[in-house]
Structure 1
Amino acid sequence: MSGPVLRWRVRRDLLLLKIVGALVFAVATVVSIGDSHGTILAGVATVMMTVLALRDILAPVRLSADGEGLVVTKGFAGSERVPWSEVERIRVDTRTRFASRTGVLEIDTGGAVFLLSQFDLGVPCQEVADDLRSFRTGS
């Protein structure tokens, strides 16, 4: 990456919450030994929370931008470099369900669409979309 770089990452407090959740579920797994259903349920929850926390540890930066293009997290903890010339559209898809508004940042390259939520970026999706558009055009 050359020149100034913008980065968006998972908030550390959410990572800490996932780690605490994994520990709570691990304790629940141990406490529920003897109740096979409870043990299985708590064990699955422990594994899921651990995997989510591990992803945040291995790939905390989900999106970065520089003068050449974007680097977007892909898969569990991989990443893909996308040159600006391949980015066709950057937009925020906003939905309202049950009195709650959620937004998802969409980066469309024609061949792939990358979707990132506020939880991935650490800030509102519209803010990131605006920053990316300004950064890309240099204004």
Structure 2
Amino acid sequence: MDPQSSPARQWRVPRTSPVVKALGALLLLALGLLLAAGDPVRPALAGLAAAGLLVWALRDVVAPVRLAVDPEGITVLRGFAGRRRLPWATVEAIRLDRRSRRGLTAETLEIDAGESLHLYGRRDLDAPLDEVAAALTAARAAAR
């Protein structure tokens, strides 16, 4: 197989995502302190929620690339910031799941690797999921 026939590609979270999450954490913390009114539980809960948002933002900074593909297979995010390599032989299916409910459509990209299922939304990859699915399917077909 010619390596030029299927170049490596990667998809990442939007660059603004960690900033928005960090600002949301600060806003949540400020709101919790503002509405405390002598109650120690409200600022504590706001602090916990803000810490969760900050950890989520940190993950976006530490591991922004959620999915990568090359002629040998797919690399997915594993855990907080780890990576897992999925050779094409282990990838059983690549599907785009669309569900409509109450006028809203939700899309999920599913990568079935037999023992594991990897799910991605639009905000995980910062690209239309149908285009990502098409690129993965094309890379898989080129590898055969």
- TM-score by structure 2 length? 0.86
Structure 2 portions without partners, runs of 5+? none
Structure 1 residue identity aligned to 2:25? A
Q: Does 1:20 align with 2:18?
A: no
How far the C-alpha of 1:33 sits from its partner, in A, is 6.9
Structure-2 residue corresponding to 1:135: 139
Q: Distance in 2 between matches of 1:45 and 1:97?
A: 28
Larger C-alpha radius of gyration, 1 or 2?
2
Paired residue for 1:8, among 8, 11, 19? Answer: 11
Q: Percent identity?
A: 41
Aligned with 1:101: secondary structure?
Answer: strand
Q: Distance in 1 between matches of 2:17 and 2:100?
A: 23
Structure 2 residue identity aligned to 1:42? A
| Contact persistence 1:25–1:42 (CA under 8 A) | yes
Closer/same/farther in 2, CA of residues 77 and 96 from structure 1, 3 Å limit: same
Q: Does 1:100 align with 2:104?
A: yes
Large movers: runs of 4+ above 4 Å: none
Q: Does 1:126 align with 2:100?
A: no
Structure-2 residue corresponding to 1:114: 118
- TM-score by structure 1 length? 0.89
